[in-house]
Each structure stands twice: as structure tokens, then as C-alpha cells.
Amino acid sequence: MKKYFAECIGTFWLVFGGCGSAVLAAAFPGLGIGFAGVALAFGLTVMTMAFAVGHISGCHLNPAVSIGLWAGGRFRGADLFPYIIAQVVGGVIAGGVLYFIATGKPGFEVGGFASNGFGEHSPGHYSLGAAFVTEVVMTAMFLVVILGSTDERAPKGFAPIAIGLCLTLIHLVSIPVTNTSVNPARSTAVAVFAGGWAIDQLWLFWVAPIIGALFGAVMYRSIGGKC
């Protein structure tokens, strides 16, 4: 059970740190950290947890990553469902804690609550098609970096840095399009508190990252051989 608990804690940190930076810090009057700050926060959550629990659970923190690692031959299918449950549970707990903190401010309005969206709910009003392609491509490249940096032939000890910086870059590019998911657990964690349109559009942020993760696994196996 330790590895499942590690995934739960790690995903809690990713959602609380990443989405928390968007909900609490990015919009702070006069001192907002902006897109770049939010992107860095997400990267830092993954990097710090990779060092903290990577040796326990592998630090997936993301159902799409778990599925991609399974497709890449790095993860046992028997652990797939328990990992996904642990990730979603950890994310939703973080969303609840963040909601409790955020609503402690007088006049706070939930709004999108760092949810992912497309169309009128995209930060840049990008279409469903644009959002879908963005999430697929970004998740695919994320898996290539994860599989490559953790390959036994790669330089040892640097994988968490490469993966954290990759997630930062992904956010820098795609926050304007979808508010960046590439992680169904992260999307679910805040959508359940935002409700309404966030729940209605949540399907995309499960389907597209999973498709992207499978593509990424296939791409890496085609260039890297046996993972």
C-alpha cells in the first residue's frame, strides 16, 4: 500500500501547489505571478515529489502517465487501476483543501477554480479541436521525456529535473489554450468544485491526455527500442 499512498500524497502536492498557485497567487492584486509563475509551480511540484517519492512509487501523479508507462513496458497492468484511484483521490483532497482556503477570503468567487476548458472557457478562447490537439501533443511529448530521462541508458539522477522542466515548458505553451491539463487527475480535482461547465468539459481532459500518453509511449519505443 505504500506506493499507492505515495501516489496519493504526490498528486495532492501537484494539485495543491500547481492549482493553488493559479487560484491564490496568480490573481493576487499587484503581485500576481502570472502564467510563468503557475507554469513553474507545476514543474516544481513534480520535480520535488520525484525526488521525494520516486523511489517508492515511481512518482506518476497522473493517470495518463501511468497508462503511458504501462504501454511503454515500464509499469505492471495489475497496478494501473489502483494507481489511478490513488491519484484521483489525492487530487480531489487537494482540491477540497484549496477550496476551503480560497473561500476563506471575503468576496471570493469560485469561477473556473483553475479548471481546464475549451471554447469560451479556454483562457484564449481556443476551439475544441485546438484544445484536443494541444493536450494530445503535450502529453505525448511529456511521455517521451519521462521514458527517455528514466531509461537505464540515460544519465543517472537527473530525471526529476528533466521531467519538472518539461512540465513547466508544457504549461508555458498551453495555459492560454486549455489552462493546461495533460493530467486527468489534476483536471478532475478542481472540476468537481467548480461544477457546471468544468464538469461538462472534463471528458476532453481524460480522453486527450490518455491518447497522447499512448502516442508518446509508441514514439519512444520506436526510437529507444526496449524501454
Per-residue pLDDT of the chain (227 residues; tens, 9 = 90+): 899 999 999 999 999 999 999 999 876 666 678 889 999 999 999 999 999 999 999 999 999 999 999 999 999 999 999 999 999 999 999 999 999 999 998 888 888 999 999 999 999 999 999 999 999 999 999 999 999 999 989 888 899 999 999 999 999 999 999 999 999 999 999 999 999 999 999 999 999 999 999 999 999 999 987 54
Using only C-alpha atoms, the chain has a radius of gyration, in whole angstroms, of 16
Gap between the Cα atoms of 33 and 186, Å rounded? 20
Task: For residue 2, give the C-alpha cell.
Answer: 505504500
Gap between the Cα atoms of 39 and 75, Å rounded? 28
Gap between the Cα atoms of 78 and 41, Å rounded? 32
DSSP SS3 for 227:
coil
pTM of the prediction?
A: 0.94
User: Cβ distance 87 to 63 under 8 Å?
Assistant: yes
- Which 8-state DSSP code applies to residue 104? T
Burial class of 30 by CB neighbour count within 10 A (0 to 12, 13 to 18, 19+):
exposed
Q: Which CATH superfamily is domain 2-224 in?
A: Glycerol uptake facilitator protein. (1.20.1080.10)
Gap between the Cα atoms of 58 and 72, Å rounded? 14
User: Cβ distance 10 to 59 under 8 Å?
Assistant: yes
